[in-house]
Structure 1
Amino acid sequence: MTECQIVDRDGVVRCVCEADEILRLLANGRRRQIIAFLESHEDDWARIETLIDDISTTTTMTDDDWETEFHHVHAPMLEASGLIEYDGQNGTIRYYHCELVSTVVDVVNARQ
């Protein structure tokens, strides 16, 4: 199996995950949208409300349904993988970079 590193902004390795796990996560279009949103920010964190508002414009779901799906499905999965740190109480999400994730999201987005 192939491992990939998840690093913080300073290049410090936060954790290591399996490529298969990353590919399973990114098989979902909503999670790819979340990652693309987070990678487009210069900071390594974003307000959850801003992320929800941005992505809700690309879905047919109601804002409430999309927010519920984010909080109960996507955020926990991305956090369990080590890609994000999710702080629902403060309304922030911190992103940790993984080269494989960036590459997969870029390739998929280029083909859409």
Structure 2
Amino acid sequence: MSGVPGSPSEARTVERALPVDTVFGLLSDGRRRRVLTYLDRHEPRIEVGRLAERLTEGRDGATPEAVAIALHHVHLPKLDAAGVVSYDAAARTVEREPAADQLRPYLLLARADERGDVGTGGR
């Protein structure tokens, strides 16, 4: 995906700060947070169907097929447009981009909040 001169993925290798509204918009959805966390912790490049399976393991509700559809139509294009992943819809693969590093502190905070580990500031 990367390394082709003049390609969008090559342009993404130049680090640029994500606007705060973009950061919070990307992280406002739990499924996008789980995608970014998975790519950061496990596999930086993965096939969308396999990613959908990983995201639904141990969770009640959505099927991997339904998750894959939502990833394809909503979440991966949004993450790709922001430059934090490269999504190849034809190959059905997604790859984490270096710009995703900027989201790591917010993801850590979101995970702590979901676990109930975030304090009330001493209150």
Shorter-chain TM-score range: 0.7 to 0.9
Question: In the alignment, is the contact (CA less than 8 A) between 1:15 and 1:82 conserved in 2?
Answer: no
Query: Where does the alignment leave 5 or more consecutive residues of structure 1 unmatched?
Result: 1-7
Identity of aligned residues (%): 24
Structure with the higher helix share, 1 or 2: 2
TM superposition score normalised by structure 2: 0.71
Structure 2 letter corresponding to 1:22: V
SS in structure 1 of the partner of residue 61 of structure 2: coil
In the alignment, the residues of structure 2 paired with residue 14 and residue 71 of structure 1 have an alpha-carbon distance, to the nearest angstrom, of 26
How far residue 102 of structure 1 moved from its aligned partner, in angstroms, is 0.5
Higher relative CO (Cα under 8 Å, sequence separation at least 6) belongs to 1
Larger radius of gyration: 2
Deviating 4+ runs (over 4 angstroms) = none
Aligned length: 101
In the alignment, the residues of structure 2 paired with residue 100 and residue 64 of structure 1 have an alpha-carbon distance, to the nearest angstrom, of 30
Q: Give the superposed CA RMSD.
A: 2.0
Structure with the higher strand share, 1 or 2: 1
Structure 2 letter corresponding to 1:74: H
Query: Where does the alignment leave 5 or more consecutive residues of structure 2 unmatched?
Result: 1-8, 115-123
Question: In the alignment, is the contact (CA less than 8 A) between 2:80 and 2:86 conserved in 1?
Answer: yes
- Larger displacement relative to structure 2 (65-74 or 48-57): 48-57
Provide the residue aligned with 2:53 in structure 1.
Answer: 53
Provide the residue aligned with 1:71 in structure 2.
Answer: 72
Cα 1:20–1:79 shift into 2, 3 Å: same
